[in-house]
A and B are shown apart, each in its own frame.
Chain A
Amino acid sequence: MSDYSIWVCEYSYVKNYHKSGVLYGAHNQGFVKLPYCYVVIKGRDHVAMVDVGYNDKDYGKVLGDRFGVENWRSPATVLAEIGVKPEEVDTCFITHAHFDHFGNVEDFPNAKFYIQEREIAKWVWAMSLPDRLRWMMVAVDPGDIVRGADLARQKRLVTVNGALSDVLPGIDLHAADDSHTWGSMWVTVRNDGQAQSQDTWVLAGDLVYVFENIHGPGAAVDEKEVYTPVGLAVGSQANLVLATEAMMKQVGYDSHRVIPVHEERLRDTFPSRITREGLRITEICLADGETSKVSA
């Protein structure tokens, strides 16, 4: 019995992203395609998202011109591929406040948003630091925080302090402090609704970018594989490794149940298809009674 369907929906991508950004220490190892994705979790009574992407109106030109980010499509277009309208989304879990995860709240007018309190508090702190410490505040748009303030006024923003169980039935939030960002979090779906679930999925946000973050090269320490953290972190790589262990423990060390949303090769593990817009829909699992959105 599965309560939720889960899809990873690509909404844009950059073709040549330096591998050392996604995998710590992978210097001079070339480039990888980095898809930008969000996750849709659809159950009988709720439609939830993990992250909401960025708004092309604000960033599209600079991202395209400077970094080669391509083929952005709106949530209305992307979600239509799985038969969902943005207006139907009632809950959004924001894994962290980077512009490409928290930058498009306006397209989800009926959703309540969850974010770690620490993500806001430490970002405010970082903004208060002298200019020589400016590195600690990159990739966050003050505008997203302004829009967050608007959500707060509309009673549509909830700040979470650490872990929170059953935000929606069978869906939990977990904090990973001082890791990729100051207050990152991941989302755990216990898809059989049981406390000791046998059908758990972890939606990792940017705590895991690619499969190698879990199955990294271990030869240097005489291991076949070791966790190798993502390259980008304002917190510590040690905390990323510890978060990886916590996520893996939740899924009984079955790594294919930890879903990295920037991983192009999800297509090799899960059924998927390319849409008319040239973006990939990956089907992680289907709820009872749900029909596939990727098979003909």
Chain B
Amino acid sequence: MTVQRRALFDRLTSVHRPDCALFADGPLPMPVAGPDDLAPLLGSDQAARYADACRPVFEDLRRVVGQLAGLMILAQLTDSSEVAGLGELASCRRRFDEAGERIRQLVAPDALEPHREQLVAAHAFSGLALGTFSELRPRGDNEAAFDTISRHVRRAYAHLSAATAEKAGLAMVDLSHACCSCGR
């Protein structure tokens, strides 16, 4: 382990709880340069092409993560495993599959590969959460499954947050109809 990695490990173990999502496998969800940051380096055309291809992926994942979190809340607080059979979960799965297909076709310039990796990781952890919904049992003790879903969703969101790039249209909140949107 290099000194740098050792320092990172020490920091993680001292700052984060043992069940922190950062301890799961995969790249760390750390902010990376996005297409808007790298446009001057890559040239605006190349950065714009990547941003264009990214937008539907980001939107898919934004929705998948939000739906998974919302469905988990409903499943837990209504004490219901029926969420696993809801149409919303089926549509979430479809969107997850579409995102996967788009990610497979997503080609990133070398400098933006870390950005693409964050999207890949967000997709992967969303998949882990999605798969765990099928483990919910009627009238059973689902606490462990909820913990697992929650952990994976949190991690997926962290990766997606790391890949936000406001100017490239990769934003977590659509503010066009919000209490701050004053037509600027």
Contacts and interface: CB of A to CB of B under 8 A. Distances in A.
Interface of A: 14, 16-18, 21, 31, 34, 36, 58-59, 61-63, 66-69, 98-100, 117, 120-121, 123-125, 127-128, 131, 134-135, 137-143, 145-146, 148-150, 152-153, 157-159, 206, 232, 262
A143 B161 contact: yes
A14 B178 contact: no
Contacts of B15: none
A139 B171 CA distance: 11
Nearest to A148: B73
B111 to A, nearest CB: 23
Contact of A140 (B150, B161, B173): B173
B177 A135 contact: yes
A98 to B, nearest CB: 7
B69 A69 contact: no
A149 B65 CA distance: 11
Contact of B171 (A14, A16, A62): A62
Given A139-B174, A146-B157, A158-B77, 13 more contacts: A14-B180, A16-B182, A21-B179, A124-B70, A127-B67, A135-B177, A138-B176, A139-B178, A142-B157, A152-B72, A153-B150, A157-B77, A232-B177
How many chain B residues sit at the interface, stated as a range, is 35 or more
Interface stretch (B32-40, B46-54, B85-93, B131-139): B85-93
A150 B76 CA distance: 11
Contacts of B78: 117, 159
A143 B172 contact: yes
B184 interface: yes
B184 A68 contact: yes
Given A127-B70, A159-B77, A149 B180 contact: no
A240 to B, nearest CB: 15
A157 B73 contact: yes
B173 A67 contact: no
Interface string B53-76: 000000100110111011111101
B177 A139 contact: yes
Contact of B77 (A61, A124, A138, A152): A152
B180 A67 contact: yes
B180 A17 contact: yes
Contacts of A143: 157, 161, 172
B153 A146 contact: yes
B174 A138 contact: yes
30 contacts: A21-B179, A34-B180, A62-B166, A62-B175, A63-B175, A67-B184, A100-B180, A117-B77, A117-B78, A120-B74, A124-B71, A128-B95, A135-B177, A139-B175, A139-B178, A142-B69, A142-B157, A143-B157, A143-B161, A145-B66, A145-B69, A146-B65, A146-B69, A150-B150, A152-B146, A153-B146, A157-B73, A159-B74, A159-B78, A262-B179
Nearest to A36: B179
Contacts of A17: 179-180, 182
B182 A148 contact: no
B70 A120 contact: yes
A120 B78 CA distance: 12
Contact of A123 (B70, B173, B182): B70
A125 B182 CA distance: 27
Given A67-B181, A146-B153, A152-B76, A99 B173 contact: yes
A28 to B, nearest CB: 12
The interface centre, meaning the residue of B69, B95, B179, B181 with most chain A CB atoms within 10 A of its CB, is B179
